[in-house]
Amino acid sequence: MLKRVLAPVLLMLLVVGAPACSGEPEPTATPVPTPTPTPTATPEPTATPTPDPVPEGFVPFVSQELGISLYYPAEWSITPTGGEGAWLVVQDGEGISRMLLLSRQASAGSLSEQIEAAIPSLTPEEGNPRVERTGAVTLDDGTTAERADILYEVEGGTDVRRMQVMQRGELLYLLVVIAPLAEVERQEETIDTMLASFRSFPPEPYGVPRESAFTMPLGEPTTLDPAIARETTSHFFVTSLFSGLVRISSDFSIGPDLAEDFRVDVTGLVYTFTLRDDITFHDGTPITAEDFKYSIERAADAALHSETAPTYLGDIVGVTEKLNGEAEEVSGVQVVDERTIRVTIDEPKGYFLAKLTYPSAAIVDRRTVEPLGFDWWMSDDINGSGPYRLARWEREEVVVLQRFNGYHSPAALEYVVSPLAALPGVGGLAMYLSDAWDAIPVGTGSLGFVRESESLSSQLSEFDQLITIYLGVDGAQPPFDDPDVRRAFLMALDRERLIEVVYDGNVELAKGLLPPGMPGYSESLRGIPYDPEEARRLLAESEYADDFPEVVFSAVDVDGEPTEMVQFVVAAWQEELGVDVQVELHESDVFYYSLENVVGNVWHSGWVADYPDPENFLDLLLHTQPLDGRFVNDQFDTLIEGARAEWDREIRLSMYGEAEQLLIDEAGLFPLFHFKDYVLLRPRVQGFQMNPLGQPDVAGITLNPIE
C-alpha cells in the first residue's frame, strides 16, 4: 500500500533550556475528512481528584487530558496550553504578574538537584541575577516540592522568578511565577496558595478510562471506506473496524477471519469459503454470504472509482467487467448458501488469498451504505464488521475505538485512543512522560536523543518493516523516457549523504525495490553507484543534451514547503547536473489518492508490503498498468507476467529477481532507503507489536495499572 511515510509525532520537550527532538522530515501532513463524524459517545469520564474545599476567592482548574489541577484567583485568567512553551499561563487582571507551568524529563537526582539544574535555564543573562533557595515545601496534597527565587534588576526595580519543582514518575513539573518583587511581596499569600494547590494525577484524556485504554498518536484516517482506503493510516483504522474472509497476522501468515475455513480446488481457480456461525455486524445483524458478494460488487462498481479494487480484486472473474460498467454483477463470486461463498479467479495465483486480506475485500453493511451514498463512512454509525467499533471521532483532535465484544475473537484491549496531536504548548514527549500517552513513534531525527537518555532508551522498541522509500519517474515521457537520463539523475544523487544529513544515518540504503525480509530480496543485487562525473557524461550524450525538457518534481505540501528530503534531492541535481528542477506541491490527500493527477515527471513515494510476496512490489507498482510507477519495458513485463502463473516458488523468485535487476539497471525508479519503526512504550504496555506492514497490532495488548 502507499505509505504516508515518516509521520511520527515530533518529540518536543517544551521548556526553556531543555533539549528538543525533531521528527521526520518526510511528509507529515495528515489529510482529514469533512464533514466530521460524531459517532457514539464514549463512557462518562470518571471523577478527577480535586482538593476540597476551594479557598475563598479562588476557582479550580482541572485538566483530565494533562492530569493536573490547581487553584487560581477568580480575577485572574488562565490559558490552558498557552504560549511561551508552557502547559498553562495564569495571569492577573492587570497583566503584571503571571505563572507558567512548564515541564521537562526528570533526572535520577533529588528534587534539590533537579531544581539546581533547572535554575540556569530560567535565569536571565542581564540584571545581576541572584538565587535564593527556599528549599523543600509540602504541597496541599502532601507531595514534596522544592522552591527557589531568582531575583534580577530591571528598569525601575527588581523582578522575581519564583520556581516550584515537583515530580511524578518521569516528568518534572516547573511552576514559575514572574512578577515585580513588590507584587510578589504584596500577593505572597495568593501566590503561595496557587503553588501549594498544584497536584498531578494519572491523566484520563477524552474521558476514556486509562486502565483499559491504549493511547498512541496513530494519525487520522483519510477515509473509512474499505473500498477506497489506500494508505497506511486509513488502512489501520479500516482493518480495525471491518473484517473480510481472511486476515493477515503479525508473522505474515494468512488465516481465517469471518470465514472459519476455506479450500481450493485442484485447478487452483476456485476458492470455497465457509463463514463462521453467528458472526454479526456491530449492531447485531447477522453477516451472510450475500453481504460478502455485495461488498465485492460495490467495491468494483464503476461509479465508485475505487483505485484499489482493480489491483486487489481484479483477479476475480468478472471484476474487470464490473469496473468497466459492462456487467451488473461479479460473475466470479457465487453465493452457495447463507454461509458458503465460491470465488473463481482468472488463473492460478499463489498470492490470491493474501490479496483478500486488503481492505477492498472487507464486508460492509448494505443497509448503512446505500441510503447515504459515497459519504456513508462519515455517518454517526458506520456499523462495521471488525474487532473494534468507532466510539468517537472529533476532527483534528481524537479517534477512539472500542472493542466489539460480539467479534468472533474479541480483542484483549478495550479501547484504542489516537490523539491527533500533542496539546499546544505541551509536546508529545511530555504527554508520554505524564502517562497521558502510552506510546509515541520516534522519528529518526529523535533517535540520538532517546538513545542517550538512560530512562527513555530502556523504553525504546524497534520493529522491522517491509518498506522501501523511492523516487518515481515517468519513463513514458521526456526526459525520463531516455534510460541514460534516468541513470544520470540517479548517479548524481549521493544517497548515502542524504541518509546522513536528513536521517542521521538511521535508515538503510536501498539498492533495489524489494526490502530486506521480503521473499526474493537479494544482497547480491547490483545497484547504481553515486558517480556525478559519469552522470554528467551520460546527460551530455543523451538525446536531450541540446534541448533539455522541463523537470517537475511533484511533492507533498508540508506547511508551504517541500520536505527536507525533497530539498536535498533537488539541490543535488541542480548542483551536479546543472538542471533546473521545478517543485510542484500538492495537498497530501490529492497526492496520495489522485496520483494520476500529479503531473510532475518525478515524485517521491514509499511502498509498504500488503503481503509477503515480491508481486506486491514489482507487479503492482510497475507493470504495464502501474499503481505508482511508469516504467516502460517489454522484457520486464514478460518476466512479471510469467511469474504470476508460476507455481514453483524458486522459479518465481528467480524471475522476480531478474525483473528487479532489469529495473535497477534501467533506473526505472530511484530506490532511496529502507527503515524500521521506532516506538517509545510505557512500561505498563504489554504485548505491543508493529507488524511488517507498518501498523500496530493492538488487539493483543494488555495494560498493567498506572503507578
Report the alpha-carbon distance of residue 694 to residue 233 in Å, rounded.
9
Read off the pLDDT band of 84 (50, 70, 90): low
Which of these ranges, 230-244, 286-300, 551-565, 619-633, has the smallest mean pLDDT? Answer: 619-633
What was the pLDDT predicted at 454? 86
**The one-letter amino acid at 445:** G
Beta strands 677-681 and 98-105: pairing type?
A: unpaired
Please, which pLDDT band fits residue 629 given cuts at 50, 70 and 90? low
Q: Following CA atoms 222, 226, 230, 231 in sequence, which dihedral angle do they give, to the nearest 10 degrees?
A: 50
597 confidence band (pLDDT: 50, 70, 90): low
Tell me which H or E stretch contains 313: helix 309-313
CA separation for the pair 317, 54 (Å, rounded): 72
Q: Which residues contact 665 (CB under 8 A, 6 or more apart)?
A: 526, 528
Domain 464-676 grouped into CATH 3.10.105.10? yes
* pLDDT on residue 13: 31
**Angstrom distance (rounded) from CA 310 to CA 313:** 6
Is the fold of 232-388 the same as that of 464-676? no
Fold that domain 58-203 belongs to in CATH? Protein Transport Mog1p; Chain A (3.40.1000)
Over residues 135-151, the pLDDT tens digits come to: 999 999 999 999 999 99
C-alpha closest to that of 220 among 392, 379, 74, 80? 392
Where do the DSSP E strands lie in 302-396? 333-337, 340-344, 388-394
**Confidence at residue 19, expressed as pLDDT on a 0 to 100 scale:** 29
Closest by CA to 494, choosing from 321, 672, 326, is: 672
**DSSP state letters, 469-523:** EEEEEBTTSTTTTSHHHHHHHHHT--HHHHHHHHHTT-SEE-SSSSPTTSTT--T
Cα–Cα distance for residue pair 181/153, rounded to 1 Å:
10
Q: What number is the average pLDDT over the span 77-102?
A: 84
- State the pLDDT confidence band at 623, using cuts at 50, 70 and 90: confident
What is the distance between the alpha carbons of residues 350 and 70, in angstroms, rounded to a whole number? 63
The predicted structure's pLDDT at residue 510? 97
What percent of the chain clears pLDDT 70, i.e. is strictly above it?
Answer: 90
Closest CA to 98 of 172, 158, 171, 183: 183
334 or 628: whose pLDDT is higher?
Answer: 334
Dig out the grid coordinates for 658 from the structure.
531478474
Q: Is the pLDDT of residue 593 over 90?
A: no
Cell of 468: 522501501
* % of the chain at pLDDT higher than 90: 70
**pLDDT on residue 12:** 31
For range 578-583, the mean pLDDT: 95
Classify strands 602-608 and 551-556 as parallel, antiparallel or unpaired.
parallel
| pLDDT at residue 111, as a whole number | 95
Q: Give the SS3 label for residue 468.
A: strand
Q: What is the pLDDT of residue 424?
A: 63
Q: What angle do CA 386, 388, 391 make, to 5 degrees?
A: 135
Residues 505, 511, 515, 520, CA torsion sign: negative
Q: Which cell numbers in the block locate residue 31?
A: 489529510
* Strand-pair category, 246-248 with 254-256: antiparallel
pLDDT digits (tens, 9 = 90+) for 644-691: 888 888 999 999 999 999 999 999 999 999 988 999 999 999 999 887
How confident is the model over 18-51, as pLDDT tens digits?
A: 323 323 333 333 332 333 333 344 444 444 454 4
CB atoms under 10 Å from CB of 477, counted, come to: 12
pTM above 0.85, yes or no: no
At 420 the pLDDT is: 86
pLDDT for 230 equals 86
The verdict on whether omega for the bond into residue 39 sits within 30 degrees of 0, i.e. cis, is: no
Q: Which residues on neighbouring strands pair with residue 334, listed in sequence order?
A: 342
**Per the CATH hierarchy, to which homologous superfamily does domain 232-388 belong?**
Dipeptide-binding Protein; Domain 1 (3.90.76.10)
Mean pLDDT confidence for 604-626: 85
**How many other CB atoms are there within 10 angstroms of residue 541's CB atom?**
10
Parallel, antiparallel, or unpaired for β 415-419 and 213-215?
parallel
Torsion on CA atoms 281, 282, 284, 290, rounded to nearest 10: -10
Paired strand residues for 63: 68
Confidence tier at 620 by pLDDT (50, 70, 90): confident
At 291, phi and psi to the nearest 5? -65, -40
Lowest mean pLDDT among 29-33, 231-235, 396-400: 29-33
Helix 483-491 vs helix 564-577: crossing angle, to nearest 10: 110
Please state, as a whole number, how many other Cβ atoms lie within 10 Å of the Cβ of residue 222: 22
| Mean pLDDT within 88-103 | 91
Backbone angles phi, psi at 191, to 5 degrees: -65, -40
Q: What is the pLDDT of residues 420-471, one digit of tens each?
A: 877 666 778 888 988 889 999 998 888 999 999 988 999 999 988 899 999 9
pLDDT band at 82 (very low <50, low <70, confident <90, very high): low
Pick 262 or 17 by higher pLDDT: 262
Name the phi and psi angles at 574, rounded to 5. Answer: -70, -35
**CA–CA gap between residue 577 and residue 486 (Å, rounded):** 12
What is the Cα–Cα distance from 667 to 489, expressed in whole angstroms?
Answer: 9
CA distance 141 to 134: 19
- Span 226-237, mean pLDDT? 91
- For the residues 230-242, what does the mean pLDDT come to? 92
CA distances for 285 relative to 20, 279, 364, angstroms: 51, 8, 12
Per-domain residue ranges for the chain? 58-203, 232-388, 415-462+678-703, 464-676
* Cell digits of residue 221: 484516517
pLDDT tens digit string along 501-560? 999 999 999 999 999 989 999 999 999 999 999 999 999 999 999 999 999 999 988 889
Confidence tier at 480 by pLDDT (50, 70, 90): very high
Longest C-alpha distance within the chain, in Å?
A: 94
